[in-house]
Structure 1
Amino acid sequence: MAPKTPSRDLIKIIINNFVNSLRPRQIKGNLIGEDYFGNKYYEIPANPSIGKRKPSRYFVPTDKESFDQELTAEWEAWLRGRRNEPPTREELVRNLSIMEMKQRNAAELEATYGAKDDKGQLLPKEKETIGTFPKYNEYEIIPGKDPEKK
């Protein structure tokens, strides 16, 4: 006698899928963390038994009416799945202090140099001229002397 091969019972599979679809699923996520803008980040864990292989991640902004929300780079990477672990508070504070230091340095450079040339290099500020008339390189500053040629 030949060994009995398991056959698929189509009706049994359909009934099992229907019963599994009626089981309650997690719709609301678990709070994972919060950033310094006040946004809250949530995650619904993966459930391979129902075919969900990746966790669902989302955030709730502080102002739900505003469409120009700011997200920190660390939390955005976590939301998009580029990192598995959410950022720690120490990491957020360290990166915020680095960002503020860069802004201060950029403001100091802007105050020192002011304008940029064609290549994007900062140029030293020219001293203000006396009076209300602008100073142009191609015009005479001292009457009778030719302007400096480059």
Structure 2
Amino acid sequence: MANEPTRRVWMIAFQNFVNSLKPRKLSGTLKGKDYFGNKYYEIISDTGRQRNSRWYDPPVKDDIAQEIPPEWEAWLRGRRREPPSEQEILKNLEIMRMKKKNAIAVEAKAGKKTPMQKGMETFPEYVEYERVPGAGPKGSR
């Protein structure tokens, strides 16, 4: 009878080992979807000490190079508690489109793409902007 508890411990260890080899099915609650087609899930942890499990499924399986919007990335990494709202996502998407449009307009106004210089001069130079504060625009020297 003295060996009875020992056998039970070995049986539990063996069952845990066998269960660890089986693939787990994650079934979390769907928290949202972004404009790239990614779906975001979460499993709430039972203990207060452990973080919630969060992940996403890309529309094309095994596509790890898929973009993730910054709002969702912050939620995945635990920097924010609540997932982003639909209004917040649409507002940030509109801001992103506006910035792209403004960048194209600035490049068109310059007439050509400005090459990036190397060394200490890493910013593109435009005629209408002053290089040294208070010295006036580049063309007025």
The residue number in structure 1 matching 2:126 is 123
The 1:123/1:116 distance shift into structure 2, 3 A limit, reads farther
Matched, 1:95 2:92: yes
**TM-score, scaled relative to structure 2:** 0.64
1:67 offset after TM fit, Å? Answer: 3.0
For residues 83 and 53 of structure 2, the distance between their equivalents in structure 1, rounded to whole angstroms, comes to: 13
Provide the aligned length of Structure 1 versus Structure 2: 104
Matched, 1:57 2:57: no
SS of residue matched to 1:78: helix
**TM-score, scaled relative to structure 1:** 0.60
Q: For each residue in 1:45-75, what CA deviation from the matched residue of structure 2 results, as whole angstroms up to 9, or x when unmatched?
A: 0111xx8621100000011143311000000
The residue number in structure 1 matching 2:35 is 36
Identity of aligned residues (%): 43
Give the ranges of 4+ consecutive aligned residues of structure 1 lying more than 3 Å apart after TM superposition. Answer: none
The residue number in structure 2 matching 1:137 is none
Letter aligned with residue 124 of structure 2: Q
Pairwise CA RMSD: 2.8
* Higher CA-based Rg: 1
Segments of structure 2 that go 5 or more residues without pairing to the other structure are: 128-141
Q: Is the 8 A contact 1:116 1:122 kept in 2?
A: no
Segments of structure 1 that go 5 or more residues without pairing to the other structure are: 1-10, 125-150
Q: How does 1:1-150 map to 2 (within 5 A)?
A: 27-48=26-47, 53-113=50-110, 114=112, 115-116=114-115, 118=117, 119=121, 120-123=123-126
